C-alpha cells in the first residue's frame, strides 16, 4: 500500500469520525445508503488511498470539513472551518452499473463497488433477527436498501457470477466481499456462501472473502474453502459481553468462546492472516478492552479490523455519537504496532474488508516493512 503522509493519515481519521460535507454530491461513484455493514458513506481518495467517508449521517451534515467542487484536474480541495487541509478525488462510477440481467435486474442491485476495486454483495438481504426489536443488532440497516428498492432480497449464484465477470472485465475489480444476513441458527449463512462462491469462481478468477457468523459445525470451514472462498470474516462487532448483549442481543447469543474456538478452527483451514473480524469502535467498549481482544486475535492469526462506528439514519443507534478521531488514534496507533509484532498485514489478506481497508485508517498505522 502506498505510504501516506502523516497529515493525510490524520485527515482520513478525522473524516471517518465526523464525516464530510459535499458541495456537489453527484461527483464520483454513487454514495451508499442503508444495507448491510457500514453505510451512509461515499468513496474518497486521499493521496492514492481510497476510503469510505460518512456523508449521510447527522454528524456529517454539520461537519467542519467541506469538499469544494472538482477543479480542472479532477481534484477537490477539502477545507476545515474554511481553511484548506487537503486534496481529495473521487473514484468514478463503475461501468458495470449501466448493465442489467436478462430479467431486467440492474447489476448495481446485485453487487456494488466498494472502495476503488472491490465488489461487494449481500447475498441474502434479510436476517432472522432484523425484524425483532428484542434480538436485532441496533446498528444494522440491512433492510433499508431493500425497502428503498435499491437491491433485491436474494442474489442467485448465477446473477453473482454474471455481475462479477462484468465487473472484472469492465472495471478491473481485484477482489470480492460476500456477506449475508443470517438465514438460520445452524450453518448461519455458510451454505449460501458456498454455492455463491463456487458459481463466481466458475465464471472468473476473483479472490473472494466470505462473511458469516460462526456455523454450528466446523466442517463448514473446509466446505467454504473448497467452494472457492479465499479468506473468511466472522465479525465480533463488540468485544465485551455487556456491550454485545446491549447492542446486539440476538447475535450475542453466540458467545465469545464460540467465536474464538471458530477463529482457531478457521485459521487452520484458511491460513494465518486469512481470517479476520470486524470490531466497531465507539459502541461502549473501552480502548483497553478492544486492544486486549485484538492481542488475543493476533496471537491466533486473526486480523482484527477495527473501524469507527458510523451511526446510520433510521436505526436505533442513529443518534449514538461516532467515536472521536482522538479515540481512534488512541486505538489504532498501538494496534498498528501489535499487528507488526504478530506478522499480520492487510496487504497479505487475499480478499475482503481488511485488504480493502476503506472503512478504517488502520492500514495506515501498520508498521511498514
* pLDDT of amino acid 32: 59
Q: Whole-model pTM? A: 0.94
What percent of the chain shows pLDDT beyond 70? Answer: 95
Instruction: List 280's β-bridge partners, or say none.
Output: 307
* Mean confidence (pLDDT) of the chain: 93
Q: Name which of 220, 240, 206, 246 is nearest 351 in CA terms.
A: 206
Lowest mean pLDDT among 134-143, 182-191, 207-216, 270-279: 134-143
- Whether 19 shows a pLDDT value over 70: the answer reads yes
Structure-model confidence comparison of residues 217 and 41, the more confident one: 217
Q: How many residues does the chain have?
A: 369
In 3-state terms, what secondary structure has residue 84? strand
CB contact burial 141-159 (16+ within 10 A = b; e otherwise) = bbbbbbeeebbbeebbbeb
Q: At what angle do helices 219-227 and 256-270 cross, to 10 degrees?
A: 40
Helix axis angle, 157-171 relative to 190-203, nearest 10°?
A: 50
Domain boundaries, the chain: 96-365
What's the pLDDT at 122? 96
Which grid coordinates belong to 244? 454485545
Lowest mean pLDDT among 41-50, 138-147, 243-252, 351-360: 138-147
205: pLDDT strictly greater than 90: yes
Most distant CA atoms of the chain, gap in Å: 57
- Please state, as a whole number, how many other Cβ atoms lie within 10 Å of the Cβ of residue 131: 10
Q: Where are the beta strands (DSSP E) in the chain?
A: 21-22, 41-46, 49-54, 65-67, 76-80, 83-89, 112-114, 118-122, 175-179, 208-211, 231-233, 275-281, 302-308
Q: How far apart are CA 178 and CA 240, in angstroms?
A: 26
Q: Which CATH architecture has domain 96-365?
A: Alpha-Beta Barrel (3.20)
- Per-residue pLDDT for 367 more than 80? no
Residue keyed to cell 461516532? 322
Residue 302 has pLDDT above 80, yes or no: yes
Grid coordinates belonging to 266: 478457521
What pLDDT does 35 receive? 56
pLDDT band at 1 (very low <50, low <70, confident <90, very high): very low
Which triple of cell numbers denotes residue 145?
A: 436498501
C-alpha cell at 233: 470474516
Amino acid at each position: 500500500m502506498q505510504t501516506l503522509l502523516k497529515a493525510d493519515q490524520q485527515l482520513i481519521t478525522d473524516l471517518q469520525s465526523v464525516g464530510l460535507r459535499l458541495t456537489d454530491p453527484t461527483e464520483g461513484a454513487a454514495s451508499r445508503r442503508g444495507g448491510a455493514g457500514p453505510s451512509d458513506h461515499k468513496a474518497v481518495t486521499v493521496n492514492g488511498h481510497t476510503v469510505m467517508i460518512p456523508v449521510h449521517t447527522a454528524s456529517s451534515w454539520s461537519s467542519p470539513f467541506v469538499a469544494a467542487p472538482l477543479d480542472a484536474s479532477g481534484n477537490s480541495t477539502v477545507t476545515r472551518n474554511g481553511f484548506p487541509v487537503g486534496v481529495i478525488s473521487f473514484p468514478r462510477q463503475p461501468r458495470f452499473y449501466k448493465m442489467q440481467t436478462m430479467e431486467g435486474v440492474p447489476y448495481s442491485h446485485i453487487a456494488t463497488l466498494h472502495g476503488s476495486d472491490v465488489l461487494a454483495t449481500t447475498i441474502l438481504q434479510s436476517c432472522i433477527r432484523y425484524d425483532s426489536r428484542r434480538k436485532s443488532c441496533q446498528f444494522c440497516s440491512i433492510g433499508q436498501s431493500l425497502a428503498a428498492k435499491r437491491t433485491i432480497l436474494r442474489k442467485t449464484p448465477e446473477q453473482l457470477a454474471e455481475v462479477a465477470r462484468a465487473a472484472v472485465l469492465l472495471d478491473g475489480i481485484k477482489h470480492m466481499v460476500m456477506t449475508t444476513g443470517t438465514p438460520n441458527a445452524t450453518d448461519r449463512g455458510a451454505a449460501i456462501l458456498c454455492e455463491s462462491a463456487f458459481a463466481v469462481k466458475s465464471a472468473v478468477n476473483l479472490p473472494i472473502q466470505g462473511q458469516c457468523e460462526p456455523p454450528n459445525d466446523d466442517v463448514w470451514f473446509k466446505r467454504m474453502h473448497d467452494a472457492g472462498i479465499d479468506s473468511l470474516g466472522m465479525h465480533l462487532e463488540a468485544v465485551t459481553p455487556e456491550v454485545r448483549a446491549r447492542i446486539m442481543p440476538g447475535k450475542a447469543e453466540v458467545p465469545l468462546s464460540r467465536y474464538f474456538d471458530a477463529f482457531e478452527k478457521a485459521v487452520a483451514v484458511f491460513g494465518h492472516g486469512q481470517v479476520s473480524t470486524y470490531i466497531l469502535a465507539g459502541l461502549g467498549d473501552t480502548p483497553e478492552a478492544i486492544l486486549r481482544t485484538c492481542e488475543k486475535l493476533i496471537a491466533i492469526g486473526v486480523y482484527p479490523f477495527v473501524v469507527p462506528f458510523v451511526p446510520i439514519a433510521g436505526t436505533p443507534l442513529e443518534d449514538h455519537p461516532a467515536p472521536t478521531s482522538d479515540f481512534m488514534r488512541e486505538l489504532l496507533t498501538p494496534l498498528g504496532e501489535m499487528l507488526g509484532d504478530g506478522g499480520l498485514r492487510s496487504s497479505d489478506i487475499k480478499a475482503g474488508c481488511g485488504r480493502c481497508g476503506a472503512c478504517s485508517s488502520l492500514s495506515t498505522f501498520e508498521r511498514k516493512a
